[in-house]
Amino acid sequence: MNTSRSTLIGLSNVVICVCLATASILPSVSFAAANQFSLPLYETVVLKNGLTINLMKQDEVPLITVNAVIRTGAVNDNISGLANLTASGLLLGAGGQSKLKIEQSIDFLGASINAAAGKEGSYVIAEFMSRNSDALLPLVQAIIINPDFDAVEFEKLKQREIAGIERAKESPRNVISRYFDKLVFADHPYGNPVSGNSDSLATITVDDLKSFHSHYYQPANTAISVVGDFDTNDMSKRLETLFGDWQNSEQIKQPDSAKDLPVLSVANVLLVDKSDALESTFIIGGMGISRSNPDYVPLTVINTVLGARFTSWLNDELRVNSGLTYGARSNFVAYSKSGTFQISSFTKTATSKETIDLALKTYARLWETGIDQATLDSAKAYVKGQFPPDYETSSELAGLLSDMFLYGFDKDFINNFESKVDGLTLKESRNLIENNFPKNQLQFVIIGNAAELSDIAATYGKVKQVDIKAVGFYPRAPSLDAAH
């Protein structure tokens, strides 16, 4: 068992919304008329206590996935890393069963239960054979509602997490996105690193976990999605029995993530010194889009041209044509109210400026020459070809339902995906590029030997230099990474 995420009725007590789709031919999305994929039929059940339950029957294999998401993550940290440590701590014993007992039960049944937090959500994910649901569903309930947060096990967990941060900094690619979020969002909640830092984690106590759990782990703040081989009516009754008496407690205080988003009016460079580095690792970008953005799908197509496939512009120029790197990519990292756009790669220290300049030159093609029809058609075909396999398994479908709850988009993302891809025109692509891809005042994070990179960094913007061994991920002020 690990703690990583990749990505858990009586009708008188509920409000029911049934979301219809065509009959399933594939074990994931269904194949309807005109080659359009749609989300399989599922039911959304809301208990009196506000708990949202999604039930999707997929009986091709005798497996069940439970994906429970709670609306709390790093954005809610009052001590950096508290949400993630709380989620990981759910597995330290629950409902009077010790961590060892839980692990033995899971292993004996060939199941898995994982827990972790992200930027805005905390997750408990279980996968097991359908015949073992009587044993596993109550265990999932205990982990979510009644964690023990054993003090001895917690101290071990805390030390593992602190050591994990230190190990992660040995590989710049593991941590560069944390530096980039902090550079872009600064003291906005989206700048909070999920992992926390070694100093902040050291201050967290069992009482902090209990308080955080009590405040945010409430039924009205939670959705449990169950996908797999089960009888829907039976599963509804079982989940109501398990979770119907779960009570809300205090009023939840959520940050307004749409408020006080930074305005990036200056090109900034965060130079992270790793004196023993033989290469430089970099991200270039700026503000991006929210996950519920109505143009999320067409922007995915455009970004595929730029940097989201092996034959993308960035990979062609930086890897295939010039041999400057083994890989270059671009992507939107979307949260509920905002996000970032990132171009990322790495190269030998000696070729750092050449590689960054070529990445910028390639990026500028979006505006200077744009996308031609043949390239757009190729990207559309690629995106549609990659789309169905993303939702083939029960775990992928359960994760999708959790994301719909957390980020505020609906089944139209699946049902209208191909039509949105097909509907993207060259004219619309130009408008989307102009309005969604950051063009000016770009932000840079460069990790490498600062003695050899400082002059290069200065050519791209205002430079702030930090040591990778320093606590946190952008210590512009002592409190930034410690608490919010």
What averages of pLDDT result for each successive group of 10 residues across the chain (484 residues)? 36 34 38 63 96 96 97 97 98 96 96 97 98 97 97 97 96 96 95 96 98 97 98 97 95 92 94 97 97 95 97 97 96 97 98 98 97 97 86 92 94 92 97 97 97 98 95 60 34
Report the run of H or E that residue 353 belongs to, with start and end. helix 352-368
Report if residue 28 sits inside a domain. yes
> Do residues 122 and 184 share a domain?
yes
> Do residues 328 and 276 share a domain?
yes
What pLDDT sits at residue 24? 32
Report the run of H or E that residue 149 belongs to, with start and end. none
> Do residues 178 and 320 share a domain?
no
> Do residues 274 and 188 share a domain?
no
What pLDDT sits at residue 244? 97
> Do residues 239 and 274 share a domain?
no
> Do residues 183 and 324 share a domain?
no
Report if residue 254 sits inside a domain. no
Among 208, 243, 278, where does a domain finish? 243
Cα–Cα–Cα angle for 132, 7, 335, rounded to 5 degrees: 140
> Do residues 143 and 206 share a domain?
yes
Q: Which two tokens stand for residue 165?
A: 């941060």
Q: Are 21 and 38 in contact (CB under 8 A)?
A: yes
> Do residues 331 and 368 share a domain?
yes
Question: Any idea what the CATH number is for the domain that residue 176 is in?
Answer: 3.30.830.10
Q: Are 281 and 448 in contact (CB under 8 A)?
A: yes
Cα–Cα–Cα angle for 249, 255, 258, rounded to 5 degrees: 145
What pLDDT sits at residue 387? 81
Report if residue 135 sits inside a domain. yes
Report if residue 404 sits inside a domain. yes
Nearest Cα to Cα of residue 283 among 340, 216, 217, 339:
340
Nearest Cα to Cα of residue 286 among 261, 314, 255:
261
Among 243, 258, 285, where does a domain finish? 243
What pLDDT sits at residue 334? 96
> Do residues 209 and 295 share a domain?
no
> Do residues 300 and 447 share a domain?
yes
Question: 3-state DSSP call for residue 326?
Answer: coil
- CA 273 to CA 284: how far, in whole Å? 17
> Do residues 232 and 289 share a domain?
no
What pLDDT sits at residue 483? 34
Supply the range of the domain harboring residue 82.
11-243
Q: Tell me what percent of the chain is helix, strand and coil, each rounded to the nearest 5.
A: 45, 20, 35
Report if residue 96 sits inside a domain. yes
> Do residues 87 and 160 share a domain?
yes
Report if residue 2 sits inside a domain. no
Using DSSP bridges, classify how beta strands 279-287 and 339-348 pair: parallel, antiparallel or unpaired. antiparallel
What pLDDT sits at residue 392? 82
Report if residue 481 sits inside a domain. no
Domain count, the chain: 2
Report if residue 484 sits inside a domain. no
Nearest Cα to Cα of residue 228 among 19, 109, 401:
401
Sign of CA dihedral 85, 50, 223, 414: negative
